[in-house]
Each structure stands twice: as C-alpha cells, then as structure tokens.
Structure 1
Amino acid sequence: MAVAAALALSACGSDNNSSSSSTTSAAASGSAASSCPSGTLNSAGSTAQANAISQFIKDYQTKCSGTTVNYNANGSGAGFTSFVQKQSDFAGSDYAMSTTQAAQVKSSGRCGSGEAIDIPAVGGAIAVIYNIPGVTASINLDAKTLAGIFDGTITNWNNAAIAKDNPGVTFPSLAIQPFFRSDASGTSYNFSNYLNHLGGFAAANKQWPGKAGQGAKGSAGVAAKVKSTSGGIAYDEYSYASQNNLTYAKVSNAAGDYVQLSSANAAQFIAQAQVEQTGADTHVVFNYNYSNADAYPAVLVTYEIVCGTGNDSSKLPLIKGFLGYALSSTAQSELTNLGYIPLPSNVASADVKAVDSLS
C-alpha cells in the first residue's frame, strides 16, 4: 500500500476478518466503540501506523456514513506539532509524550485547562532490512553488531563480527550503507531503545542518535533507499518491509539468541510489556530482559495523542467514536494481515477506559 503524505479516505468497504494471535486480544466495548456521529476529523503523525490507520478509516467510514477522517502521515514529531497548533484533532506517535511535550500542550492551552493523554493504538515490529547482492536468506545480526553498523565502527559486509553471527554465509567485500529516519520518529526511538538495552548503543531518541549513514524521510522513504542501494541497511516498520518485498534479519534477544521476525513472535514480546496508567494517560513499557526464543524484541506500539479533557464539544463524539472503533476487536483483528500486531488484552482494557473518559 502506497501511503501518500496525506490520507483523506472516502468511504469504501473492507471485509477482512483475520484472527489475531492467541497472545493478544483487543476487546474495546462501550458506547465509544459503537457510536456513529457525523462530521470530520483531521489527524496527523506516525508513518509507522499509517497503513493500519488507513484501514481503520476505510472501515469506519463504511460503517458510519456521513463521517470523514483525514490522516496526514507526516511523522510523529510533525504530527505532535500539528496537534499542539490545533491543526489536528489527535496525533499519531510511535512514542508516548515526553515530559517536555506534555508541558508544551499544557502551556499552549491546547486542551483548555486540561492535559493531553497517550492512548496505545497499534502494535508493530521493527524490521532490520538490507540489500546485499548474492545474499538472499535471512541473516543473523546481533544487537552489538547492529550498534557498530549504525555507529560507523563496522563498515563492510565481510566484517568478522557479521561473519561470526552467520557461519556458512559468504558475504561480499561491500561497503555498508546505513540509512535512518531523518525526521523525528518513534521508529527511531524504539529501535535505538532496543539497541541501547541490548547493544550498548546511545540512549533512545526520536532524532536518530547514530553516527553513521544517510537520512531518509518517513518509513516509505527508508524502505525505498534500501531497496535501491547495494549494501544498504536500515530499520523500518514491518509492514513497509513486507510490502516492498525486502529481506530482513533475525536479531538477538537478551539471551543472545537470534529471533525471526513474525507477527506471532513480535506479539509474544509485546504481550510481556507492562501497562502504566495515570488517570487516562496510558503507557506501554517493554521488558527487554525477556528472552524467550520466540519473542522478537525490536518492537513498537504507536499512540494516539488526544486531549483528555477540553476537546472541542462538536468533535468529541466523533473522536470517541473513531478511536473506540480503532481499539475494538473488529479493527484490531485486521492488523495481522497488514503486518501489525493486535494489542494485548491488558492494553486494550486500559484503552477502553481511556477513550470512554474523554471529555
């Protein structure tokens, strides 16, 4: 699915009814999940969740005639800015608001005298995609090896550290061409968080903290660069890797075992996350020490940032209606076939309370 800079999707049908992994179960309920108010919502942000949001929009507009939901996939940082500037009714982000961002919402009066909250919406995995001529099988890449590649200390595909990870694989003498997200990105935040915990990389940051490579804008931009560059490597949201038929690596977990990327393996890791909820503000904290051999550790959860209180009264029913639908079991069951991960039941239950509390 090609994702344009802006997704303004008109009503059209979708009858996908794929089942989610047994380790996950989203079960939104209540009035928010079933309401069909008319009107228009504008939203922006995360490119990682864009393919999922576009599906939710198509299905919701089919379900609710008279409703229009626009989503501008311009990146997590830009989406947050548009939310603060009241250009968006909610923003998609691949990371929860920082203390600084929350204070910015408060000081700007974006939510009146209230505050914005984070609501986890879409689970995902981060693929390590690469383009190595002559190497078509999935290779193994240790977190420390990846940290070296993105810090510029490992610069050729025939490096001894890569060969050690991959006995029996012949790598060409070819310069490694790392690519990273040039825009403020939750995919960057989550992947650098994984490398920080298990590879000794720099601290997690939405502005990519690595020292090597070239930047590309958006998930689609990163995928395109790797696809067209011999020796290229990057991190990218799983659905983009799948849609572009890119090869992706097995990556190491806390035990040093290599884990294959699959929806089921990513779901197993996400299911171990801790849910932290303060009022309606809901955060997911990953346990990088979890080392089950079938749990893929490079993952993310996207959030919708919305006013907890102080929403435009004319928009509030539609905000609750659409977000309620996006978090429902019907919508979440679409995610696996799109290359995403349905939310675990503990996250989904917290989300229902958050959406129902919006005012």
Structure 2
Amino acid sequence: MLTSSSDGIPVLESRSVVRRRFIMSLGVVAIIGAIALLLAGRGGNDRVEGSGSTALQPLIQRLSVDFQNARSGDEDWVSGSSGIDYEAVGSLGGVMRLADPEMDFAITDYPLSTSHLAQLGAVQFPLMIGGVSPVYNLGPAGANTPPLRFSAATLARLFSGAITHWSDPAIAADNPGVTLPDLPVKRVYRTDGSGTTFNFTRFLAERDAGWKGRFGAGTTVDWSKATGTGTGVKGSREMADSVAATAGAIGYLETGQARRAGLSIPLLRNDAGQFVVPTDANLRPDAYPLTATFYAVIKRDNASPADNARVLRFFAFLLDQGGGAARSLGYVALPASEISDVHAIWARDLGADHIRPGQTGN
C-alpha cells in the first residue's frame, strides 16, 4: 500500500503494518466509546428513577418539570442531569421494581405492611391525599340525568354483576325521582396491580358483607367471580378511555383524573348516611368516604447516600412547594403537621436531617 513518508515521498507499507494500524484504530475507537458510555452512565445516575401509581402520575410529571426548573439556579446543575424519570406501571408494579438497583423509589396508593417494608429494606412515608371515584357513562339516553347517588351496597351489586341494567330498583332507591335509562350495565375494571383497585375494593369490603366474602380487597381481585358484561383494562388512561367510549359503562378512577377526563362522577353515601360529592373540601374520611393516601417507598440502602439525597430533595420540593399544583389537579396536600412528621421519618430512618423544607439543591 502506498503512503507518504514524513518528507512527502510515497513509500510502500506491508499489509501487516496496515493491519496493525487498523487494529490500533479500532482500539482507540473502543476506548473512546467506553469513556463516552461511562460518562453517559455517570450523567444518567444523576437522574432520579421511580415507578408505580398511575393515579399520582399527573402530579409527578408536573412537579418533575418544576423541580428541574427550580434546580436550574444551583451551581452544580447541568441541563438534563437532574430530572425525574417516572414510569406509571401501577402500585404493585412499582413496588416490585424496587428490586432493580437502578430504581430509586416507588409510589403506591396504599401503605405497605411493616413486614413487607422489612423484606424490601425500605422506608415509606405519605406524600399526598386523593379520592377514588366511581365513573359512569349513560350515553345519549342519560344526557339529562343529574349526577347519580350510590350506596356501597348498590356499587357492590353493580360491580359483582347482580345489577344488570341501569333502571334497576336498587339504583332507583338511591336516586328517588330520577328517570333512569333501561341500559345494560358494562363494568370496567383494572387487571394490573392497582392501588386504585385496592382502595375501591376495600371501600366495598368494609361496607358490604357479600362483597367481602366473594371478592375481598386487594390490588387485584378475581373479577371472574362477577357475572354479566365486563372489560379488563390496564392503567388509569385505559380505564378513562374505556368508560368514555362505552354507553352503559361504570368504572373507577382517581378523582382528579376522573374530573379531567370529563366523566360522570356520582355522590357516595358516607357512614353518616349523607351523599357526598368529592370536592377538595370533602376529601376527608369523615366526609367523602373513599379517600386514598399516596405513599413513597424508598430503599434504605440505595447505591449511595447521594442517591437518597437526590430522591428526598425532590420529595421535599413536592411536599413543601407542590400544594398549588396538587390542588389544580384534584389532590389535597398534607397538612403542615404531617409534613413535619415526614421530615422526622427522613431524619430517623434515613439519616437525612440535612434535607430541609423547600430545599432543592445540595
């Protein structure tokens, strides 16, 4: 092969020399690639990785942007390196993914037991309060029907398949004077492990003995025990879309998501015998009877203390500065006393007494 010498005169190189230079070039490329991957991984580790509840996803998405913008003034901030990556896979799926060393936190719509937390080597603390609402679609036949009212017993019969038509006498008894369409009931339920399902079925199990004995309460239940027409979906988005597209459908959603989807939300009968609409002011156990508390679950031994610090700085931002965003999306922020309790948990169980309210940076 002809090449140029140092003085520009063409010379002939052997093929073995050319082969060695080619191999050396590949080695250099490989080293550069490895360094690039290492740097990319190091930058990726600055991001917070979480998964879990689909019900709290809208708030996590909104506040992750606000958090990154707030951190833009920090001296150590690098664009794209301090964000929150959150995957809405359902509460059960989020907890299961904590086994992944890259996963920093999970969010659930229900508290884990002490034994489960010990098994995971994790700590949990409350983040936000929300509601769970039945949602329904009476189609054109129910266009002029006022918001319906349901007792737990009626809801249990609707979701078990005992009630097959919207004109059923049990629904009429909850809604005196309301003209109900003679429309088949088509229930929609979650097939993934869902905290929303847990809270909804717990509400029914605590108030209806028939439901408790047949279905119980859980992140998943055996919907095959129900009769009539039913459709299984995964995630809150599929639930909202399915109910919206199906005349006669009834399902359940986090209250804020139900409002934003424009679905019909009924009043629920509370333990005092009052039918209550899930407004921000009523999302209390002594008023609206179907509330949910969202919890964060993080591992005690994340890869390094810096990992937990990054996670907790985000949650400090959510707790201390996320109230406005929470209200706009239909959630209710924790009272100040409970936020103080959360910071005490961080100091006691995670050695994070240096994370202060409102802190976003180091």
Tell me if TM exceeds 0.5.
yes
Q: Contact 2:302/2:308 (CA < 8 Å) preserved in 1? A: no
- Counterpart CA distance in 1 for 2:312 and 2:188 is 38
Structure 2, unpaired ranges of 5+: 1-44, 352-362
Per-residue CA deviations over 1:80-119 (Å, capped at 9, x if unaligned) read 11112223100111111235633541xxxxxxxxx20111
Aligned partner of 1:208 in structure 2 is 221
Given the alignment, which residue of 70, 82, 87 partners 2:97?
82
* Structure number with bigger Rg: 2
Counterparts of 1:147-166 in structure 2, within 5 Å, are: 147-166=156-175
Q: Structure 1 residues 101, 308: closer, same or farther in 2, change over 3 A?
A: same
- Counterpart CA distance in 1 for 2:136 and 2:206 is 22
- Counterpart CA distance in 2 for 1:78 and 1:123 is 20
- Counterpart CA distance in 2 for 1:322 and 1:354 is 16
Q: Contact 2:104/2:302 (CA < 8 Å) preserved in 1? A: no
- Counterpart CA distance in 2 for 1:117 and 1:317 is 14
- Counterpart CA distance in 2 for 1:310 and 1:45 is 17
Q: Contact 1:198/1:254 (CA < 8 Å) preserved in 2? A: no
Q: Contact 2:52/2:92 (CA < 8 Å) preserved in 1? A: yes
Q: Contact 2:135/2:258 (CA < 8 Å) preserved in 1? A: yes
Counterparts of 1:73-222 in structure 2, within 5 Å, are: 73-98=88-113, 101-105=116-120, 115-133=121-139, 134-135=141-142, 136-200=145-209, 201-202=211-212, 203-210=216-223, 211-212=225-226, 213-222=230-239
Answer yes or no: is 1:41 the counterpart of 2:13: no
Per-residue CA deviations over 1:50-97 (Å, capped at 9, x if unaligned) read 011112211110001331111111111111111122231001111112
Amino acid at match of 2:52: G
- Counterpart CA distance in 2 for 1:120 and 1:351 is 7
- Counterpart CA distance in 1 for 2:83 and 2:218 is 34
Structure 1, unpaired ranges of 5+: 1-37, 106-114, 270-289
Answer yes or no: is 1:51 the counterpart of 2:52: no
How far did residue 343 of structure 1 move? 1.4
Aligned partner of 1:326 in structure 2 is 318
- Counterpart CA distance in 1 for 2:260 and 2:179 is 27
Identity %: 32
Given the alignment, which residue of 233, 252, 263 partners 2:269?
252
Counterparts of 1:255-266 in structure 2, within 5 Å, are: 255-266=272-283
Q: Structure 1 residues 311, 302: closer, same or farther in 2, change over 3 A?
A: farther
Aligned partner of 2:329 in structure 1 is 338
- Counterpart CA distance in 1 for 2:299 and 2:190 is 28
Structure number with greater CO (CA < 8 Å, separation at least 6) is 1
- Counterpart CA distance in 1 for 2:231 and 2:113 is 26
> What secondary structure, in the 3-state scheme, does the structure 2 residue paired with 1:97 have?
coil
Superposition misfits of 4+ residues, deviation over 4 angstroms: none
Counterparts of 1:250-329 in structure 2, within 5 Å, are: 250-266=267-283, 268-269=284-285, 290=286, 295-309=287-301, 312-328=304-320
- Counterpart CA distance in 2 for 1:209 and 1:191 is 14
Amino acid at match of 1:204: A
- Counterpart CA distance in 1 for 2:67 and 2:196 is 26
How far did residue 122 of structure 1 move? 1.6
Amino acid at match of 2:252: Y
Q: Structure 1 residues 218, 137: closer, same or farther in 2, change over 3 A?
A: same
- Counterpart CA distance in 1 for 2:149 and 2:308 is 48
Aligned partner of 1:68 in structure 2 is 83
Q: Contact 2:104/2:308 (CA < 8 Å) preserved in 1? A: no
- Counterpart CA distance in 2 for 1:87 and 1:218 is 23
Aligned partner of 2:346 in structure 1 is 355
Per-residue CA deviations over 1:111-169 (Å, capped at 9, x if unaligned) read xxxx2011111211111100013334210011000011111111111110000111111
> What secondary structure, in the 3-state scheme, does the structure 2 residue paired with 1:336 have?
helix
Q: Structure 1 residues 87, 175: closer, same or farther in 2, change over 3 A?
A: farther
Counterparts of 1:7-26 in structure 2, within 5 Å, are: none
Q: Contact 1:44/1:92 (CA < 8 Å) preserved in 2? A: yes
Amino acid at match of 1:208: V
Q: Contact 1:94/1:300 (CA < 8 Å) preserved in 2? A: yes
- Counterpart CA distance in 2 for 1:100 and 1:206 is 17
> What secondary structure, in the 3-state scheme, does the structure 1 residue paired with 2:49 have?
strand
Give the total of aligned pairs: 287
Amino acid at match of 1:319: V
RMSD of aligned alpha carbons: 1.8
Q: Contact 1:327/1:352 (CA < 8 Å) preserved in 2? A: no
How far did residue 334 of structure 1 move? 2.0
Amino acid at match of 2:48: L
TM-score by length of structure 1 reads 0.76
How far did residue 309 of structure 1 move? 4.8
Q: Contact 2:135/2:251 (CA < 8 Å) preserved in 1? A: yes
